[in-house]
């Protein structure tokens, strides 16, 4: 027993022996440790067992940027004992996504991601290899090709018309428009109609599906935690109910998708055109049955004033979209895994090292941007910097082999809707616009965007 009050130390002989042996073991280990010949990137000091996990906050992209400000654009962290390379500048991203793209073509996996994404059968997490290559080519050549994106024009226009109708009603009743809620429904409906052939947002199952997607994002956001990176502490995720939540969400999402596939199989062969992703994936033809249940008259569609040629000329609008994506990339962090030993910016990176790229920090890097924290769309008017993957200072859609194949699809909707919102309505905010973020793998506003709309005189 240790008794400091009496200044006498009375140790149990067994305890004394154990401490002595353990100290000798540590001393031997320290003496026999050869100085590493590897050139490792700078690292913040780390704790035993936790590594640097304690330095992460729910908004991980922000925490990493603060660490990067002290340790540089390429740093080595440890999640538990797993090495994690963090890249936070255009140069660092260029090495990983361009120069060594193939070497970093794998994605990290964890219990949570395996469970939520069909044991990594999902294209975005599938390991680099034959299976991923065939899925990606299916996406690029068929599902998300320019031709296919154009074939969804009518869906986008109909849904945009519905959105404008809802905003018009708010104008008449002088009530504030909850743009966050409307955008969520719009995105969901456009994607569901393109992917599944119809929308589900007004059915109980569809509403539940939207909630499940929200929970899935939250769970993914929380998956960088002790339970995932320190194997002997994985029981924490069992005890605190995290694993149960993941299992429940995975089962319910699967149930919804099963229902969708069943619907398509039961419809059998039908019309002439391949209209949605499920039909293409199932390899069956389907009659074009977009029975949304809502009446969308010809006029309301014609009322969507801008076609895509008009949009081509809207330089300022495109600059606004770029500037928004620079400051608020929906996916603030990208992840990869080194498939072999490789040298990055003169540093040695070991096979299996997880890599985190931070497009959020890269978009705010003063080395690439003047007044990076200012929202100034004009910066893009005389610049050819784009987010298509060749300018690494702007990578909201990632870049390289694992870059986003849905960019054209997403942009077509974003531009159409935004153009209509600003042309058809005058907007007023009650208070200053806040951009407080809600943690998750994709970043959303913490508080909904509410604004007052009046019909524009144009
Ligand atoms: C504003 C909307 C969108 C943004 C900001 C976005 C962004 C991203 C990002 C950052 C990645 C990861 C890239 C990387 O790791 O380098 C990604 C991957 C992916 N995105 Fe998107 N995306 C959007 C919309 C879409 C849409 C509408 C689709 C399909 C309809 C889509 C399909 C995919 C797929 C399949 C992957 C995985 C690619 C792979 O691993 O090879 N995305 N997206």
The answer to whether the beta carbons of residues 412 and 158 sit under 8 Å apart is: no
DSSP H helices in 118-203: 130-138, 146-151, 153-173, 179-196
pTM for the model stands at 0.85
CB of residue 123 inside a 6 A radius of ligand 1: yes
Please indicate whether residue 441 or residue 365 has the higher confidence score (pLDDT): 365
Which residue of 320, 397, 400, 401 sits with most ligand 1 atoms within 8 Å of its CB, as the best mutation to test the pocket?
Answer: 397
Q: Which atom of ligand 1 is nearest to the CA of 132?
A: 41
E-only strand ranges, 304-390: 334-337, 342-344, 347-349, 354-357
pLDDT at 274 over 50: no
Task: Quickly tell me which residue has 């500037």 as its tokens.
Answer: 323
Query: What is the model's pLDDT at position 305?
Result: 47
- Output the average pLDDT for the chain: 85
Whether residue 324 has its Cβ less than 6 Å from ligand 1: no
> Is this complex's ipTM strictly greater than 0.90?
yes
pLDDT at site 2: 35
Model confidence pLDDT, tens digit, residues 155-207: 999 999 999 999 999 999 999 999 999 999 999 999 999 988 888 988 998 89
Q: Is 108 in the pocket of ligand 1 (CB under 6 A)?
A: no
Residue 396: CB within 6 Å of ligand 1?
A: yes
At 298, the pLDDT band (50, 70, 90 cuts) reads very low
Extract the runs of DSSP E, i.e. beta strands, from 247-392.
334-337, 342-344, 347-349, 354-357
Segment 234-241 shows an average pLDDT of: 87
CA of 1 to the centre of ligand 1 (A): 60
- Of residues 458 and 244, more confidently modeled: 244
Q: What CA–CA distance (Å, rounded) separates 239 from 427?
A: 48
Ligand 1 neighbourhood includes 448 CB (under 6 angstroms) = no
5: number of Cβ within 10 Å? 5
For 1-14, write each residue's pLDDT tens digit: 333 333 444 556 66
Question: Using a 6 Å cutoff on CB, does residue 398 contact ligand 1?
Answer: yes
Report the nearest-CA residue for atom 18 of ligand 1. Answer: 404
What is the predicted pLDDT for the residue at 300?
45
- Give the residue, by CA position, lying nearest to ligand 1 atom 40: 124
344-399: per-residue pLDDT in tens?
999 999 999 999 999 999 999 999 999 999 999 999 999 999 999 999 999 999 99
Task: State yes or no: 404 annotated in a binding site.
Answer: yes
**Cα(265) to centroid(ligand 1), Å:** 27
Taking the C-alpha atoms of residue 124 and residue 145, their distance in angstroms, rounded to an integer, is: 17
- Is 275 a residue whose pLDDT tops 70? no
* Cβ-based neighbour number of residue 192 at 10 Å: 21
- Interval 442-458: pLDDT, tens: 888 999 999 999 998 76
Residue 271's pLDDT band (boundaries 50, 70, 90)? very low
Core vs surface per residue 22-46: b (16+ CB within 10 A) or e: eeeeeeeeeeeeeeeeeeebebeeb
Give the pairing of strands 444-445 and 342-344: unpaired
Tokens 């540093």 sit on residue? 347
- In which residue are the tokens 């997490």 written? 125
């Amino acid at each position: 027993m240790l008794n400091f009050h009496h200044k006498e130390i009375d140790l149990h002989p067994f305890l004394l022996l154990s401490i002595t042996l353990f100290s000798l073991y540590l001393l031997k280990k320290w003496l026999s440790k050869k100085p590493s010949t590897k050139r490792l990137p700078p690292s913040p000091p780390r704790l035993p067992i936790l590594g640097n996990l304690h330095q992460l906050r729910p908004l991980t992209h922000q925490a990493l940027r603060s660490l990067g400000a002290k340790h540089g654009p390429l740093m080595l962290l440890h999640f538990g004992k797993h090495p994690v390379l963090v890249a936070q500048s255009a140069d660092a991203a260029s090495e990983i996504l361009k120069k060594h793209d193939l070497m970093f073509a794998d994605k990290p996996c964890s219990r949570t991601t395996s469970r939520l994404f069909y044991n990594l059968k999902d294209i975005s997490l599938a390991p680099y290899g034959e299976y991923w290559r065939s899925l990606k080519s299916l996406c690029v050549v068929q599902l998300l090709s320019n031709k296919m994106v154009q074939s969804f024009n009518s869906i986008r226009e109909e849904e945009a018309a519905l959105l404008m109708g809802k905003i018009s009603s708010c104008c008449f009743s002088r009530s504030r428009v909850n743009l966050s809620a409307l955008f969520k429904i719009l995105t969901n409906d456009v994607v569901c109609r393109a992917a599944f052939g119809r929308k589900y947002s007004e059915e109980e199952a569809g509403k539940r599906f939207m909630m499940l997607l929200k929970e899935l994002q939250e769970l993914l956001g929380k998956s960088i935690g002790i339970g995932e990176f320190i194997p002997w502490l994985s029981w924490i995720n069992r005890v605190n109910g995290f694993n149960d939540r993941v299992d429940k969400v995975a089962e319910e999402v699967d149930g919804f998708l099963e229902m969708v596939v069943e619907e398509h199989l039961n419809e059998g062969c039908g019309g002439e055109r391949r209209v949605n992703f499920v039909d293409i994936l199932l390899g069956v033809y389907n009659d074009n049955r977009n029975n949304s249940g809502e009446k969308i008259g010809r006029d309301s569609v014609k009322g969507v004033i801008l076609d895509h040629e008009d949009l081509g000329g809207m330089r300022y609008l495109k600059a606004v979209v770029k500037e928004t994506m620079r400051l608020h990339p929906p996916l603030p962090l990208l992840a990869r895994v080194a498939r072999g030993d490789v040298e990055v910016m003169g540093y040695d990176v070991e096979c299996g090292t997880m890599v985190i790229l931070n497009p959020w920090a890269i978009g705010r890097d003063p080395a690439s941007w003047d007044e990076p924290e200012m929202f100034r769309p004009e910066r893009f008017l005389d610049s050819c910097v784009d987010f298509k993957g060749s300018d690494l200072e702007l990578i909201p859609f990632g870049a390289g082999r694992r870059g986003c194949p849905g960019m054209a699809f997403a942009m077509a909707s974003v531009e159409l809707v935004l153009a209509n919102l600003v042309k058809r309505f005058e907007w007023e905010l009650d208070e200053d616009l806040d951009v407080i973020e809600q943690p998750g793998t994709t970043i959303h506003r913490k508080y909904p965007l509410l604004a007052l709309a009046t019909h524009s005189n144009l």
